Structure 1
Amino acid sequence: MKLLIDADGCPVVDIAVGIAKKHRLECLILCDTSHVFEKEGASTLVFSKGADSVDFALVNIASSGDIVITQDYGLAAMCLSKQALVLNQDGKEYTVENIDGLLSFRHTAKKIRNAGGRLKGPSKRTPAQDEAFKAALTRILSGKLT
């Protein structure tokens, strides 16, 4: 089992690496050349800036039982098909039960934007979101590593 972090636009890289280090879990940070992260306790894999290059690399590396951190619904769906456990940056688990609804929402939002509409962006990140992520990842690792 390993922890794979889709680091492009991920606000919880430091938290995830710290938790992985504490649990002695292999941690891989995947990013493109415009978002290079070097963190003690993790290996960084850097890919070209091509469309979805990091996502496809992560899916190719992911295995059953791995834990993936991403905010990308499409990447989450691909990782779920490989039986990986997938969390977003707020600690919400993507599952086979909720991924279709999330992908449908993404599709609808894209149609609205393509038609010239605007959607409200995410709110400023709060310490409570960091704590929720930390609690979810710790709970999952505690259950998987015992």
Structure 2
Amino acid sequence: MTSEFSPTLFIDADACPVKDEVYKVGQRYRLKTYVVSNAFMMIPTSLLIARVIVEAGPDAADDWIADHVGPGDVVVTADIPLAERALKAGGQAIAPNGRPFTENSIGAALAQRALMEQLRSTGEFTGGPKPFDRNDRSRFLQALDEAVQKARRRRP
């Protein structure tokens, strides 16, 4: 008889527009959820949700998450290098717009990020990402639910 695995959820919380959705999914599946940020932020009162405040610094929250994520865990982040680190640790990573980062897509995402950084450094106007909308939120909820179901079916 095998027991069902319960992944941990990690939110790269600074500027994350889908924290409430992560809380809801985490509560539904009774999953430990870490809200990692560089500053204090309000979180729901729950034994399953923990606030982690890291030192100020460009990658401090990313480093904390990468040090704690394990096989099957789910990281919610728009940060592509953090997504790559989560995948290397055996976890899953999902962007707030619902796009899952995978072993097959992370290389292209890193290359696109490097290209955009190069263009910006030369003064090129790149326009930035499109505004976050209701469809992104819906895609995110579906992707997060699928990631949790996938993690629960497999044992790391």
The answer to whether TM tops 0.5 is: yes
Shift of 1:78: 0.9
2:11 corresponds to which of 5, 12, 22: 5
Structure 1 segments (4+ residues) deviating >6 Å: none
Q: Secondary structure at the match of 1:145?
A: helix
- The percentage of aligned residue pairs carrying the same residue is 23
Higher relative contact order (CA 8 A, sep 6+): 2
Number of paired residues?
145
Partner of 1:137: 144
Indicate the residue corresponding to 2:116 in structure 1: 109
1:46-57 maps to which residues of 2 (within 5 A)?
46-57=53-64
TM superposition shift of 1:47: 0.7
Offset, 1:36: 2.3
C-alpha distance in structure 2 between counterparts of 1:110 and 1:82, whole Å: 26
**What RMSD, in angstroms, separates the aligned Cα atoms of the two structures?**
1.3
Q: Is the 8 A contact 2:12 2:62 kept in 1?
A: yes
Alpha-carbon distance in structure 2 between the residues aligned to 1:40 and 1:121: 35
5+ unaligned residues in a row in structure 1: which ranges? none
8 Å Cα contact 1:113-1:119 kept in structure 2: yes
| Equivalent residue in structure 2 for 1:16, among 19, 22, 25 | 22
- Where in structure 2 are there 5+ consecutive unaligned residues? 1-6
CA contact (8 A) 1:67 1:84 kept: yes
The whole-number CA distance in structure 2 between the counterparts of 1:118 and 1:49 is 29
Q: Does 1:128 align with 2:135?
A: yes
C-alpha distance 107-19 of structure 1, shift in aligned 2 (>3 A): same
Of 19, 34, 37, which aligns to 1:31? Answer: 37
**TM, length-normalised to structure 2:** 0.87
Task: Letter of the 1:78 partner, please give it.
Answer: R
